[in-house]
Structure 1
Amino acid sequence: MPATLAMDTNDTSPSSAGLGYVLAQLAAAARTGDTHPDPATRARGRDRAQRWSTVLRGMLSGSLQPGSRKPVTGLPSWVTLEVVRGGFATGRAVAEGPLTAAELTFAQEAGIPASRSELFAYWLTEPGQLRLRNLLDSGCYRIDVPEAAAVLVLAWLIRSGDVAAASRFVEQLAPLADRLRFTPTPAATPAPDPQIMWRATAGQTAAALRAKKPRAQVEAMREAVTVWAPFSDQVLGLWCETVRDGRVAAHYPDGWTARASSAIDRYRVLAAAHTTCAKHRHRKSNLSVMLRALDTVVGGQDLESRTSGLLQCAVDGAIAKRGAPASPVLERYRRDQAATVTPGHHRLAQLVAGRLDAADPEVGIVDVDAVTTPVNASEAASTSLPPGEPIPDSVVRTARRAMARPIELLLGAGVVPSAEVLAQLTPNITAEVVGRGYSDRQLGALMTAHHRAFMARRSLLLVDLQHQVRPAELPWVQAVAARRRVQSEDGRVALRRLAKLTLDAFPATLVPNPMVSQWMTLSRQSGDDLPWVEELAADIFAGRFSAKYLRAAQVAASVLTDSLYARYFDIDYSAIAAADPARPERRGVGSSSWFDQLCYDRAGNPTDRWDVAANGMVIEQAQILTTHNLATLVQLGVTPTSGWKDLAQRTFAQLLGLVSRIPGNPRQLPLIKDVAYAWRQMVFYLSLVESAPQEVEAMAGFLARSNPAVRERLAPAMTALTRVAAGGRFADDATSDSGRRLTGWTTERHWLIDSSS
């Protein structure tokens, strides 16, 4: 979140905290909507501005309370809210708005007025219940927002004979039945195998391909070769007809003037239709010179000596460069030139989009290769694309976003570029574990689909150590809670799988919060009480950590006491292990003032005044003490496929790449934070390797042979790590020869920015 979302520790009012941020976002969106050159981007900007205006009006009127678990007056906390950047609710529920096509169809088929309240009443009738039971049995439905599972849960309760639970459930839903969509969307087929995942559906990918625009430079070159080159040869041929004894415009054959006039007319038509290439308009270009001379002669005037001289140079130069018109030399030149011109990528993207139209638009596609084959004969005939033309890499990359495979194969295919994307894909795995917790097959499938939709909820801005709404708080989940059993081993197996995938694929990246959220869910499913910690936003940090941060640090103490990690970061894990457990404070939220103070002390108590960078320094110390979940993974028994040493080496290689991007980078500070995260994780991995001293020595040797800009920046941190790995202690003195401790946040100029320490 941007730093404008500031909150003074003496004023914890979310409204006062976020007003400046909201105004800044509104201004930025309005500016985009008014001034951006792209119409689609302007439209999106206006849409964002409208939503931010709604947020602002709600805050000013008091109907919105940012920072609360129940930020919208009149809506319970379980309602899925429309949330904009920064975690601000707009006041609108995602499940409200105009009736969907599915709702209108249901109402029409039931012969009832098209309203949500009438539709809700219909679902309570026998015909409505029969329709819902059929959906449950077939599995042919989609849950795109959690509320859409409600009436299916109701139908399941009634069929199972739990009328009392169904009645209580109806009482909870009824007050919002006229406003929220509790109805699922019918589908032609059951939900696909949850183990099969994709980054984008076939429909989304086709839309993205159709949105590809021509590249101006490429289209200008294509126009130059296919339009202006042949026309230029035609004009050159006209002037070659006038040559005598090497002199251009020496005589004009019969009919020449008419042909020249026709060429001028054709030029006007071509210039109006083909505006990408502008070279023909340059006064000094050969074509421009020849055309001006044509216009003069066709107009009945004699050529001035200067014009005649320019014309002679243009004709002689064109022939010398490419050959005379109709000559084998010119024909070969144009043939070679045409071979360098390929169809526009946007045209080939349109072709692939058309191929994707044959697939189910709501899911991915198994065989991406089949839709990215070269242009076939029938396609060439209908599109004028060259037969056999290969699909360009940029189009193939977009199409591969629809590749439908198990997550391990997607990672192997390079389709998952980041830990954030991995976290977006893997809720399928978590949802399947949730569904297996229900003994009834139809209910399990429903709760799998529901949890997948729940994981797409956007997080709210929360203060005062509040936590996001959990699935167990939703009325339809509560209504069938008694039917769920703990799936201890299923949850642990899935958690280890996700953790291993994350470590193996992105060892240098801080685990993103959406993935941490999935680990929390799987831990709850398995009945384990593990302290998973999220990355906190520095611009809304209120100065306290919840109880689980101390518990996570104590888990780290059990793994890292007197380790390379503990010595490099100067952590007294014995004191942390002996610390009293956090105690409940107001609202029942546990926290530890001892742990809070430890983080402040380690950050150097940077300021008494609220400051984003100072907050970041304190939060970073909590991340260091807890290892940001890495130690908890070790305690759970997670190990990377290739071992901790390989993970450390790969992280070091990525770290060098990150450091190499610092010089001249306009976003140096975020990059330096990524460097610090990678460095910390590398030190953690090394702490689990018996040969850590030798590994550190090898890394130091490699660094000494690296790019000077990288070597000079990273040398202080490597010096300190080498000394600690050899058995020494870190001397926390920035001016000493013992090196420097590498962290990402600072209230001063970071030493990694400069080429020397």
Structure 2
Amino acid sequence: MDRYPADGGLPELDPVTAETAVGEAPGIPAGVAVPDNVVAKVPRALEAPVDELVARGVINSGEVLAKVLPQLTASLLAANLDDAEIEPVYALTYAAFRRRRSLLLLNLEHQVQFGELPWIAALEPLRAHRPDTKRAALGTLRQATMLALTAFPAAILPNPLVRELGALATEAGLSVPLVEEVAADIFMGTFTVKWRLAAERASALLAGSLYARYYDLPDAGTWAAAPRPRRKRPRWARRTADDFAAACAARAREAQLDAGSRSPGTARCWSRARSCPRTTSPCSWTRWTCASRSGTWPRNWPTGSCAGWCAGRPCRAPTGTPRSR
């Protein structure tokens, strides 16, 4: 390992995991195999494309991907600088900034952004914003997005990864309303305009799709006819989308009313998977029922027919209700 730089990765694994050579290590004869527990950890030091690290299991979650991706973003942002001495400092500063601890703030506030740092803002006029860098950022954005969705399809994208994708989109010159997962303990009862814009685009792009039926997305005309976001609130100094917040509140009330109308001894368990009804013990959240707009179930249909009956009826999945077990 001494022949490799301390601040870099391994270009390949075979020279490190092979049996010891003559004179390679004092006191260790030639032909000694590297212990298996050490060999298992060596891939963590491999310097390779992100997709290869995912295939090898080195990157095994969206959280780990969010820690690796800033290294690529940092090099793209620094590539717009012509100064050979400032470029690596800029890249290292970005990578270090992304490793900071995240804080949950009230009143729609957010932490200081990278571009708001005084020493980074002073360098902004020196960045050239070249077209080739934009194309590279767009390619990295596409690759990272597809990798996250295909490699970890059952997991929600973590907020650090969403923020990093947003940084790549900004560098690529795209205006994409990427929204993070909201923490319930800091929710202020409203949303910024980014959320409304994301809902508007989702309704337009996904109209008629299985996803739109699955989540019962509003029609695109709903957002077009709704009032535009209000001006900034003096208290928060952020533009809010009150119509989007009202739509969320209406769905929450609907879920509450539906939960209160169930018969005694049963509980309605909402699941993203829309599983078919299963009759079990009458404990809380153990009897599953399939919900449609009418809230009824054909009595003469066996349980196994649930999939055929529900396929043409969009079910609702309000947030905040316990998941099925």
Shift of 1:381: 8.7
Which residue does 1:458 correspond to in 2? 101
In structure 2, what is the Cα distance between the partners aligned to 1:511 and 1:554?
A: 20
Q: Would the alpha carbon gap of residues 581 and 493 (structure 1) be closer, same or farther in structure 2, given more than 3 Å must change?
A: farther
Which residue does 1:38 correspond to in 2? none
1:539 paired with 2:185, answer yes
Whether the 8 Å CA contact 1:418–1:506 is kept in 2: the answer is yes
Shift of 1:441: 4.1
Shift of 1:474: 0.8
Whether the 8 Å CA contact 1:568–1:724 is kept in 2: the answer is no
Determine helix, strand or coil for the equivalent of 1:591.
coil
Q: Would the alpha carbon gap of residues 498 and 585 (structure 1) be closer, same or farther in structure 2, given more than 3 Å must change?
A: same
Shift of 1:375: 5.6
Provide the identity percentage: 33
In structure 2, what is the Cα distance between the partners aligned to 1:580 and 1:501?
A: 37
The counterpart of 1:401, out of the listed 22, 44, 48, is: 44
Q: Would the alpha carbon gap of residues 484 and 387 (structure 1) be closer, same or farther in structure 2, given more than 3 Å must change?
A: closer
Which residue does 2:204 correspond to in 1? 558
Which residue does 2:228 correspond to in 1? 581
In structure 2, what is the Cα distance between the partners aligned to 1:446 and 1:398?
A: 30
Q: Which residue type is aligned with residue 193 of structure 2?
A: A
The counterpart of 2:253, out of the listed 591, 594, 604, is: 604
Whether the 8 Å CA contact 2:255–2:318 is kept in 1: the answer is no
Determine helix, strand or coil for the equivalent of 1:590.
coil
Determine helix, strand or coil for the equivalent of 2:11.
coil
1:745 paired with 2:317, answer no
1:360 paired with 2:10, answer no
In structure 1, what is the Cα distance between the partners aligned to 2:14 and 2:225?
A: 58
In structure 1, what is the Cα distance between the partners aligned to 2:125 and 2:25?
A: 61
Which residue does 1:245 correspond to in 2? none
TM-score by length of 2: 0.75
The counterpart of 1:480, out of the listed 120, 123, 126, is: 123
Q: Structure 2 unaligned segments of length 5 or more: list them.
A: 257-268, 277-285, 292-303
Which residue does 2:175 correspond to in 1? 529
Q: Would the alpha carbon gap of residues 495 and 389 (structure 1) be closer, same or farther in structure 2, given more than 3 Å must change?
A: closer
1:428 paired with 2:77, answer no
In structure 1, what is the Cα distance between the partners aligned to 2:26 and 2:75?
A: 47
In structure 2, what is the Cα distance between the partners aligned to 1:720 and 1:466?
A: 45
The counterpart of 2:313, out of the listed 729, 732, 736, is: 729
Size of the alignment, in residue pairs?
287
Q: Which residue type is aligned with residue 223 of structure 2?
A: I
In structure 2, what is the Cα distance between the partners aligned to 1:719 and 1:437?
A: 59
Matches within 5 A, 1:85-484: 356-374=1-19, 382=27, 388-389=32-33, 391-392=35-36, 394-484=37-127
In structure 1, what is the Cα distance between the partners aligned to 2:310 and 2:97?
A: 46
Q: Would the alpha carbon gap of residues 436 and 723 (structure 1) be closer, same or farther in structure 2, given more than 3 Å must change?
A: farther
Cα RMSD after superposing both structures = 3.6
Q: Which residue type is aligned with residue 364 of structure 1?
A: G
Task: Pick the structure with more helix per residue.
Answer: 1
In structure 1, what is the Cα distance between the partners aligned to 2:306 and 2:183?
A: 29
The counterpart of 1:491, out of the listed 137, 150, 154, is: 137
Q: Structure 1 unaligned segments of length 5 or more: list them.
A: 1-355, 608-671, 681-698, 701-711, 733-740
In structure 2, what is the Cα distance between the partners aligned to 1:376 and 1:571?
A: 64
Which residue does 2:300 correspond to in 1? none
Whether the 8 Å CA contact 1:374–1:391 is kept in 2: the answer is no
Q: Deviations over 1:260-315 (max 9, x none)?
A: xxxxxxxxxxxxxxxxxxxxxxxxxxxxxxxxxxxxxxxxxxxxxxxxxxxxxxxx
Whether the 8 Å CA contact 2:80–2:128 is kept in 1: the answer is yes
Q: Which residue type is aligned with residue 35 of structure 2?
A: I
1:594 paired with 2:238, answer no
In structure 2, what is the Cα distance between the partners aligned to 1:597 and 1:431?
A: 39
Shift of 1:505: 1.6
| Structure of greater Rg | 1
Matches within 5 A, 1:27-42: none
Which residue does 2:262 correspond to in 1? none
In structure 1, what is the Cα distance between the partners aligned to 2:122 and 2:238?
A: 26
Q: Would the alpha carbon gap of residues 444 and 372 (structure 1) be closer, same or farther in structure 2, given more than 3 Å must change?
A: same
TM-score by length of 1: 0.34
Q: Which residue type is aligned with residue 508 of structure 1?
A: A
